[in-house]
Structure 1
Amino acid sequence: MRAEQTTARRRRAVPWVFLALWIGVIALAGPFASKFEDAQQDRVVDYLPASADSTQVAEIQDRLPGGEATELVLVYHRDGGLTAADRETAAAQVAEIGQAHKLTSAPRAVPAGDGTTLMYPVASTEPGQDEKARDALVDDVREAARSEGGLSVDVGGSGALDTDAGKVYDSLGGPLLYTTAGVVALLLILIYRSPFLWLVPLAVAGVADYLAMGVAYGLHEGFGTSVTGQSGGVMTILVFGAGTDYALLIVARYREELRRIERPYDAMVAALKGCGPAVLASSGTVAAGLLCLLAADLNSSRGMGPLGTVGVLCALAAMLTLLPALLILLGRRVFWPLVPAFGSLPKQRRSLFSMMGSSAGRRPLTVLAGGAVLLGALALGTLNLPGALKQEDSFTKTPDSVAAMETLAKAYPERGAQPITVMTPDDRAAATLADIEGTKGVDSAEKGRTAKGWTEISVIAASAPESAGETATIKALRANLDGSYVGGSSAQQLDLKDTNERDRLIIVPLVLAAVLLILVALLRSLVAPLMLLAAVVAVWGASLGIAGLVFEPLFGFEGTDPGLGLLSFVFLVALGVDYGIFLMHRMREESLAGAEPGDAALTALRTTGGVIASAGLVLAATFAVLTNMPLVALVELGFVIAIGVLLDTFLVRTYLVTSASVALGRKVWWPGSLSRPAAAEGPAPEHEPQRVSAS
């Protein structure tokens, strides 16, 4: 009796111990989490490939006196044509700016051929790499360049574009977090139909997000991990999306165990034993897939890997420890009004997933063929994806900098409006300048600063920014200039595109291999993991195909973010396999209990279909939050992943994976022991409620 009392006391103490531990962890993480936003850097160099020419230019400029130059273009425009007074106003305003700030050279007016527009390229080294100083300079120039009496003035150039993008990223944190939490809360209320239960996983996800910010800041300070607005936002999405998925699975299994086990503590232990391996494997696939991004040359992608992994692992730790502790302490009453009474049976009703399973079970090959044709047809939409996204097209709303670039594109259709920067050793400056002037596509070039062994040369192309002509000029300069680096805004966009293509060739096989190894270890099979991977790759192709059908015709996007293909692949493969794990792990449990392969597949779908659907809706909704953000790259990423998750949840997992499992029978577990016919046995005993005596 005394031993039973001691055991009971220990059981009662365990949840309190975990709760106390988490209070301590959050107290320790607090000072770091509060500094997370300060660690976010959204300079161009934080997104550029580490080895690219344009990155070398930016780093060399940073070492020169005054640091990297902030390049702006003041655009004066009047529809009916500029007047003499307009030109005097423009000259006076530019002179005022020159007196207030240290410019690299005296601004020179460049009139448009049609007489409607006048541009003044302006550059200053005052800000260097200091984002706040750069933003202050841009704001100061915009205040000095005032529109007057029908004369419009816009400030563009790479510096202004960077400032506008930085302000957008700075504004993401709060709205993104609140919107994500609100969407998750609404879905949990609908799923649980309880006034209290939804608060528990939501609160735990919030705690996990706070911890993730603290750990991410520690990685930034300790290891120099790049933290951008994009990676920080995706980390929050992953914490709430993946964390809520794990919570849904755990709570569903806990509710199931409460009907046959009296004590909440024992029911939770049984639930974690049942679904714990699937949750661990699920988080492992996401973490492994994201860590493959460390092989990326692109700084933003490489930094997103560790931050995404931190988010997933913090969510996992919270959902496996803090969530169970809170649920045990709250007892059965947390499920009110749908309390799972001990010894009760759930209402038997023919669910949607039972009907879907029945149709898949009757004609598995027909369902497989139909699904494959549908996904293949959707994937053809990728042929309609727009080209690479230009810098001025990267906003969903038109800021001042983009308006300036649009005016320049119309007024100077055959001339570059932003410089290409060449950094060359100073002992070769004269020869390099001559080579530049002799390069096809160059309109003009002039030497700038010379210091620390390098000379800066500003080149204006004869073609519009980011056009095919300017791209050809940049490539020609890089081919002709030995020992020099070619950078600038357009060169950066070109390097982003080229490096994303290189990263995709390296990282895609790494992700597939890492996920495959985890699936093989969990499922003890080769066929089932390969089937799941083929399914998620098909979903990825179909999702990009749908994007190709709507991005330009429906959303009006002028281009596709160069990183969309790689990032969407990593997330859809890693996250999509989650649902396959939930389904196949339950199928394996049923098979081990003696069920025939077809029955095991249909039982797994019937018992996990609702949880998978709920998890898929939550995850899709959290990524869909990104479609409300003001940056095209985030909208595109959120749309593709949300569509992919929905396809995976309601088509691939429910119909195609179940149909394939029924069609393959025991072969789905080859070469494991389950692939061999079982010896004849009596029927497996049904689970009976287990009463544990109260102490």
Structure 2
Amino acid sequence: MKNTDWSPKRWLRIALPAVLIIVWLMAAGLGGPTFGKISDVSTNDQASFLPASAESTVAREWQLKFVDSNVIPAVVLLTSEEALTQEQLGEIAGLSKKLGGVGGVQEPEAPATTSIAGPIPSEDNKAVEFLVPIAATGEIKEVVGELRETLAASTPAGLSVYVTGPAGLTADLVSAFGGIDGVLLLVALVAVFIILLIVYRSVVLPLLVLFTSVFALCASILVVYYMASWDWIKLSGQSQGILSILVIGAATDYSLLFVARFREALHQVDSKWAALGRAYRGAWEPIVASGSTVILAMLCLLFSDLNSNRSLGPIAAIGILFSLLAALTCLPALLVAFGRGSFWPFMPKVESGRNHKHHADDTAGMTEETAADIGRGLAGVGGIWRRIGLLIARKPRMTWVVTLVILLAASSGILQLQANGVSQTEVILGQSNAVDGQRALAEHFDGGSGSPVLIVADQASQDQVLAAVEGTEGITEASVYKGGGRPDPAAEPVVKDGRVLINATLKDQADSESAEQVVVELRNQLPAIDSSVLVGGVSAIALDTNVTAQSDLFKIVPLVLLVIFLVLIVLLRSIVAPLLLIVTVVLSYVATMGVSALVFNHVFGFPGADATVPLFGFVFLVALGVDYNIFLMTRVREESLLLGTHAGVLRGLGKTGGVITSAGVVLAATFAALGIIPLLFLAQLAFIVAFGVLLDTVIVRTLLVPALSYDLGDRVWWPAKSTKFGQGSSVPATAPEPFESAQR
């Protein structure tokens, strides 16, 4: 084989790594401080994520015309175990002025004291509520926090105090994301470090890989911050957390593949630059293909109708791009700077020859031709990967059939998946004053207090529409809007462009499934009275979000599969192999969702799942699952060109098994770190991706794909001619030398 090893000039050997490391240090220096500021450009307002065409979005725009201000209502609730006395009620009435004095409480067209509705006693006289409008343009978390402090200092003894409603829930939701900047990242990095320490038994290498991942994350955060500040994308705490985990996991995965090639080359050549060149020639194609696949899959989210999904697409794509760049520039510079010391204390040494002898019982009972294929494919492969290779070689069809049956059995659980959305009070898993307040509110008042259904109707049909709304089951009362504060009951309704606004109070909590059904009923019956009627509000926003999310699933899934299929065709120069990989990752996804549904329902006792969970789970699992199959099949193709498909499958599995398994464990651990954030969506996504990656790594990529490929033989590369494989005609320069010792 012609020697194509690269040996640059001395000045370049010094300057190139130094320049690359300095560039990435500068990126980290600029992006690092941005972590503390990124929350300033993020939003968690569910309404802003809906498309402009959604009925609740249009209704919200009309609402702003009537109210002349953008407010989020907070419900201040005070409860007592016993009936409230007149003395207590008198003290509670004095709270109205103090609440109005809190900065950030909206003052629509009157003093703060009159803009607050209340005190409103409950029928059982054990609770009192205030409806406090808060400016949506301010810091809701800080305003709600100050309201709680004011109440704690001024409320009569013996009463329980809550600040709930949309503003209270939003504030607690923002607080739940507080761990993203620090704790989440720390947990993910520590998990990755420990895993790498165990796998490589090196102190230096885990640090080099982590530096690469952190540099990639800093550069990603910097770009995303400015894109959000320029209003090019909508950034949420949810997207922010996913970005951090995705970059750490992806950058580590790509780095591990490069490290595996570098270490393998260090066993073959003495020069670290020659080893680096071989590592590049062997790793760049699968890394670029894998990164491109994930980037294109994420960009498919741009076709989503939900702004939150559409924004996550470019955010995640930016993270993967920098992960890719860091793994191919920063990590190689660090590796060549440390050389063999990167693996200290177990530094790889050049091996003059390898023992490719295999045991006689490895091929017992096989034909001479099959035994020879196994002998070459498993030469130099030991441990569990040799045993798995022998299993596949002996019984390929039984292996993939049994694996397929197991995955299909797991897939049956998907019938129990409840991904129709959950109420906002069930989104927060940790302690929440607002969630507790919503439960207490439902005990003493109508559950929808403070979050009415908003109906925009033509003035000419307001009486008929109002009567129909009042007669709808699930609505306790309804009235035409006559102005802010406490308008005169005899006042005329406010009319804007020939339309009126009707507020309808729900019997149940505004974000409950029953409340959404009321919205559906109103939208079904009111157009018969007024064809231009609009139904909006918190319940309508939740309903439209769920419907849009489910619509996105059927639109984006085929698009992602098509994009990945085309990338695989270009990479593997085949049609059969890409089809095989696509089918197996989809099966892996369905099996994962089936197991997840069973775990969510019967182990964790979750109330259901957000409607976006299946879509996010699909995009991440399919894109990342194909990553591992790309790592495997590019090596299988490389070895098949030299050894033939059967031996190439075994050799590719043996050479990539350890690194892909390590990468899968690392990615699973990083996504599992999302579980520390007490939010239902992220906890479910953490389990789905972590379990799915492990399932894909341990079962699909280890058994199903190799066994199917082995069983198909050269047909897996169709339409390429079978004579091309096993001839050594296209052996890459990085391929190991033929196994002369085994042949001798």
TM-score (norm 1): 0.91
Q: Find the partner of 2:454 among 422, 425, 428.
A: 422
Deviation at 1:277, TM superposition (A): 0.4
How far apart in 2 are the matches of 1:501 and 1:77?
39
> Compared with structure 1, are the counterparts of its residues 64 and 26 closer, same or farther at alpha carbon in structure 2 (3 Å cutoff)?
farther
Give the Å deviation of 1:362.
1.6
**Counterpart code for 2:442:** A
Asked if structure 2 preserves the Cα contact closer than 8 Å seen for 1:209 and 1:240, the reply is yes
Q: Which residue of 2 aligns with 1:311?
A: 319
Q: Is the 8 A contact 1:50 1:297 kept in 2?
A: no
Residues 572 and 641, structure 1, Cα contact 8 Å, conserved in 2: yes
Q: What letter matches 1:14 in structure 2?
A: L
CA distance in 1, matches of 2:629, 2:268: 27
Deviation, structure 1 residue 676: 6.6
Q: Taking structure 1 as reference, are residues 551 and 678 closer, same or farther at Cα in structure 2, changes over 3 Å only?
A: closer
CA distance in 1, matches of 2:723, 2:697: 26
Query: 2:649 aligned with 1:601, yes or no?
Result: yes
CA spacing shift, 1:64–1:143, aligned 2, 3 Å:
farther
User: Aligned partners of 2:215 and 2:621: how far apart in 1?
Assistant: 25
Deviates more, 1:259-268 or 1:672-681: 672-681
- CA 55–513 in structure 1, closer or farther in 2 if over 3 Å, else same: same
Counterpart of 1:107, as a letter, is: A
Give the match's secondary structure for 1:457: strand
Contact 1:61 1:69 in 2 (8 A): no
In 1, Cα distance between the equivalents of 2:679 and 2:389?
41
Distance of 1:51 and 1:660 partners within structure 2: 47
Q: Is the 8 A contact 1:57 1:487 kept in 2?
A: yes
Structure 1 position 411, deviation (Å): 3.8
Shift of 1:28: 5.9
Give the match for residue 446 of structure 1.
Answer: 479
Cα 1:206–1:98, aligned 2, differ >3 Å: closer, same or farther?
closer
User: Do structure 1's residue 135 and structure 2's residue 141 form an aligned pair?
Assistant: yes
Unaligned 5+ segments in structure 1 are 690-695
Farther off after superposition, 53-62 or 300-309: 53-62
Q: CA deviation at 1:89?
A: 3.9
Q: Does 1:553 align with 2:602?
A: yes
In structure 2, distance between residues paired with 1:467 and 1:684: 60
Aligned partner letter, 2:199: I
Aligned counterparts of 2:715 and 2:75: Cα–Cα separation in 1: 66
Alpha-carbon distance, 1:333 to partner: 1.7
* Greater Cα shift, 261-270 or 403-412: 403-412
Q: Percent same amino acid among aligned pairs?
A: 35
State the shift of 1:44 in Å: 2.3
| Deviation sequence 1:242-296 (CA, Å, 0-9, x none) | 1000110001100111122222112111111111100011101111111111111
The yes-or-no answer on 1:204 pairing with 2:212 is: yes
What is the aligned partner in structure 2 of residue 358 from structure 1? 390
- AA aligned to 1:78 is S
* Matches of 1:62 and 1:543, distance apart in 2: 44
1:467 deviates by 4.3
One-letter amino acid of the counterpart of residue 658, structure 2: G
Moved more, 25-34 or 657-666: 25-34
Letter in 2 for 1:145: L
> 3-state DSSP class of the match of 1:171?
helix
Between 18-27 and 380-389, report the one with greater CA deviation.
18-27
Shift of 1:423: 5.5
1:470 to 495, 511, 515: 515
Q: Which residue of 2 aligns with 1:43?
A: 45
Q: Which moved more, 1:151-160 or 1:581-590?
A: 151-160
- Higher mean alpha-carbon deviation, 63-72 vs 648-657, is at 63-72
Separation (CA, whole Å) in 2 of partners of 1:463 and 1:31: 45
Partner of 2:19: 17
| Matched residue type, 1:517 | L
Task: Tell me which moved more, 33-42 or 637-646.
Answer: 33-42
Residue among 609, 634, 637 paired with 2:685: 637
2:76 alignment partner, SS class? strand
Kindly tell me: are residues 254 and 65 of structure 1, through their superposed partners in 2, closer, same or farther at Cα, counting changes over 3 Å? same
RMSD: 2.9
- Counterpart among 62, 71, 74 of residue 73 in structure 2: 71
**What is the number of residues matched between the two proteins?**
679
User: Which digits, 9 at most, give the CA deviation of each residue in 1:610-644, with x for residues without a partner?
Assistant: 00000000000000001121111110001100000
Query: Displacement of 1:87 after TM fit?
Result: 3.5
Amino acid at match of 1:505: F
Report if aligned partners of 2:42, 2:228 keep a CA contact under 8 Å in 1. no
Contact 1:69–1:123 at 8 Å: present in 2 too?
no
The residue identity in structure 1 corresponding to 2:56 is S
Indicate if the aligned counterparts of 2:645 and 2:713 stay in contact, CA closer than 8 A: yes
Alpha-carbon deviation of 1:204?
1.2
Match of 1:246 among 247, 254, 257: 254
CA-to-aligned-CA distance 1:523-553 (integer Å, 9 cap, x gap):
0111111111111111111111122122133
Please list, as runs of the form range in 1=range in 2, the aligned pairs for 1:263-302 lying within 5 A after superposition. 263-302=271-310
Asked if the contact 1:94/1:145 (under 8 Å) is kept, the reply is: no
CA displacement, residues 113-163 of structure 1 (integer Å, 9 cap, x when unaligned): 5x2642425041x51333x1x233322332343454432222211111011
Aligned-partner Cα distance in 1 for 2:96–2:213: 52
2:59–2:456 Cα contact (<8 Å) kept: no
C-alpha displacement of 1:571: 0.2
Query: Structure 2: which 5+ residue stretches go unaligned?
Result: 1-5, 356-379, 484-493, 739-744
CA distance in 2, matches of 1:214, 1:459: 45
Cα deviation digits, residues 571-593 of structure 1 (max 9, x gap): 00000100000110000001111
Superposed displacement of residue 48, structure 1: 3.4
1:661 aligns with 2:709: yes
Report the residue type matching 1:639 in the other structure.
Answer: F
Q: 53-62 or 522-531, which moves further after superposition?
A: 53-62
Offset at residue 464 of structure 1 (A) = 4.3
| Aligned counterpart in structure 2 of residue 614 of structure 1, from 625, 639, 662 | 662
Cα distance in structure 1, aligned partners of 2:227 and 2:146: 35
Question: Distance between the aligned counterparts of 2:680 and 2:194, measured in 1?
Answer: 26
With over 3 angstroms needed to count, the CA separation of the structure-2 counterparts of 1:25 and 1:74, relative to structure 1, is closer
Residue equivalent to 1:165: 173
| Letter aligned with residue 383 of structure 2 | S
Please tell me whether residue 623 in structure 1 is matched to residue 656 in structure 2.
no
Kept after mapping to 2: 8 A contact 1:75/1:153: yes
Checking the alignment, whether the CA contact within 8 Å between 2:77 and 2:163 is kept in structure 1 is: yes
Assess if the C-alpha contact under 8 Å between 1:463 and 1:470 holds in 2. Answer: yes
Residue aligning to 1:693: none
The aligned counterpart of 2:718 is 670
Q: Is the 8 A contact 1:368 1:656 kept in 2?
A: yes
Pick closer, same or farther for the CA change 1:117–1:381 going to 2, 3 Å. Answer: farther
Q: Is the 8 A contact 1:420 1:458 kept in 2?
A: yes
Cα separation, 2, equivalents of 1:391 and 1:244: 35
Please tell me whether residue 527 in structure 1 is matched to residue 576 in structure 2: yes
Match of 2:151 in 1: 145
Provide the residue aligned with 1:120 in structure 2. 129
Q: Which amino acid aligns with 2:476?
A: D
Amino acid at match of 2:644: E
Instruction: Write the distance in 1 (CA, Å) between the matches of 2:461 and 2:269.
Output: 81
Match of 2:117 in 1: 107
CA distance in 1, matches of 2:265, 2:58: 59
TM, length-normalised to structure 2: 0.85
Alignment partner for residue 461 of structure 1, among 506, 510, 520?
506
CA shift in 2, pair 1:675/1:291, >3 Å? farther
C-alpha offsets along residues 416-445 of structure 1, whole Å, 9 cap, x if unaligned? 334334263785684554553354542212
Q: Within 1, Cα distance between the matches of 2:177 and 2:500?
A: 33
* Equivalence for 2:371: none
For residues 688 and 377 of structure 1, the distance between their equivalents in structure 2, rounded to whole angstroms, comes to 43
Measure the CA separation in 2 of the matches of 1:330 and 1:676.
40
Match of 2:89 in 1: 87
Q: One-letter code of the match for 2:271?
A: R
2:144 maps to amino acid: V
Residue of 423, 426, 429 corresponding to 1:393 = 426
